[in-house]
């Protein structure tokens, strides 16, 4: 699909966020065709450039930064410098979307809060992410995924006798989806009415939304509860690995399930139980997943490139994931890797990025 045919082609997004939830929300918009410009501090950039996941680095940035910031541009600006701040305000005046995840009060002190910038740009869609919401006793606390999983009660869902957190940044990724959803909804309203708007969400709210079924049951204890089945769905050991079973209807003697499954390998049980209409799947390691035909079938990888600093040297080529959605039957891919710090210049520098490099309009 050509760039001009993507749904958000022509939309300009300013990404002031760092590390995960905000940057991934901006990435989702970029994959849909938006032009995303990261605005970072000079010298160090955002924290995600140096906070390495599993200690992996590529071309002076962490691999996790590359995964979350591909398909973007980057400028640097010292928001404490009056000249830079004025240039940033001019960028905001021509943008369609602004995303940030500063603690409550930071953007207000800079004069870049929603009430202030809507006077510059009434059509701006303003997305603010936080850890625990803009109000309440924890409003000023920094957001962190492990803490959001814990305070939301999620850690008790998987643990049978002790709390267990998900070993991924679940709250951050879900929050990124909610932010992107809110932004696209307000862009639709903007296209219809010309009116911008404010979208707010938090790690805590993302975790509570994830548990909507569980919370609804707890909020309505008067509703009848059916008896528990003799055996429940779960993950079971086989002779050579593990098997996940989603439902046990139709399985004779489920109370003897543990002993039965240990008599043969996982592949055998996937075939045998599948023929009986019992939904099951092998439990795979990441290595087994990457080697599986199911992984190959969905084509979830792409190779991105970043030009070298010195002409003639080899570019960085990095394999990563693609957008998980398709538009009109087409997979969305982009070859642009994450930008170097200030790749498009300094907002206040003559002859570099400047305000002329930005282009508003779009939806």
For residue 40, the cross-strand partners are: 76
Other CB atoms within 10 Å distance of the CB of residue 97: 28
Other CB atoms within 10 Å distance of the CB of residue 292: 12
Task: For the chain, state the CA radius of gyration.
Answer: 24
Q: Alpha-carbon distance 139 to 133, whole Å?
A: 6
CB 95 within 8 A of CB 363: no
Q: Residue 280 has what DSSP assignment?
A: E
User: Percent helix, strand, coil in the chain (nearest 5)?
Assistant: 35, 15, 45
Catalytic residue check, 172: yes
- For 169, list phi and psi in degrees, rounded to 5: -80, 70
> Which of 78, 84, 172, 249 does the annotation list as catalytic?
172
3-state DSSP of 190-206: HHHHCCCEEEEEEHHHH
CB 110 within 8 A of CB 180: no
Q: Report the catalytic residues.
A: 172
């Amino acid at each position: 699909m050509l760039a001009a045919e993507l749904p958000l082609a022509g939309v300009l997004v300013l990404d002031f966020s760092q590390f995960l939830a905000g940057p991934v929300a901006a990435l989702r918009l970029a994959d849909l065709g938006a032009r995303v410009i990261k605005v970072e501090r000079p010298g160090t950039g955002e924290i995600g450039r140096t906070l390495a996941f599993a200690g992996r680095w590529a071309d002076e940035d962490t691999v996790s930064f590359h995964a979350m910031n591909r398909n973007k541009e980057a400028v640097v600006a010292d928001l404490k410098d009056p000249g830079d701040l004025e240039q940033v305000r001019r960028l905001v005046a021509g943008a369609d979307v602004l995303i940030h995840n500063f603690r409550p009060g930071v953007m207000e002190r800079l004069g870049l809060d929603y009430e202030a910038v809507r006077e510059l740009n009434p059509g701006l869609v303003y997305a603010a992410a936080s850890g625990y919401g803009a109000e309440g006793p924890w409003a000023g606390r920094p957001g962190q995924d492990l803490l959001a999983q814990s305070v939301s009660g999620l850690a008790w869902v998987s643990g049978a006798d002790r709390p267990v957190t998900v070993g991924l940044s679940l709250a951050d990724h879900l929050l990124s989806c909610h932010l992107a959803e809110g932004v696209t909804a307000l862009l639709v309203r903007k296209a219809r009415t010309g009116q911008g708007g404010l979208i707010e969400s938090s790690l805590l709210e993302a975790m509570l939304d994830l548990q909507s079924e569980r919370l609804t049951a707890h909020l309505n204890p008067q509703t009848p509860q059916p008896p528990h089945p003799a055996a429940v769905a779960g993950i079971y050991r086989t002779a050579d690995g593990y098997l996940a079973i989603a439902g046990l209807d139709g399985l004779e003697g489920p109370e003897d399930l543990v002993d039965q499954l240990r008599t043969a390998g996982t592949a055998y049980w996937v075939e045998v139980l599948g023929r009986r209409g019992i939904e099951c799947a092998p439990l795979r390691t990441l290595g087994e997943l990457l080697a599986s035909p199911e992984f190959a079938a969905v084509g979830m990888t792409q190779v991105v490139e970043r030009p070298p600093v010195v002409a003639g040297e080899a570019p960085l080529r990095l394999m990563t994931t693609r957008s998980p959605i398709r538009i009109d039957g087409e997979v969305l891919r982009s070859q642009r890797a994450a930008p170097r710090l200030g790749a498009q210049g300094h907002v206040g520098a003559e002859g570099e990025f400047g305000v002329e490099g930005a282009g508003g309009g779009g939806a």
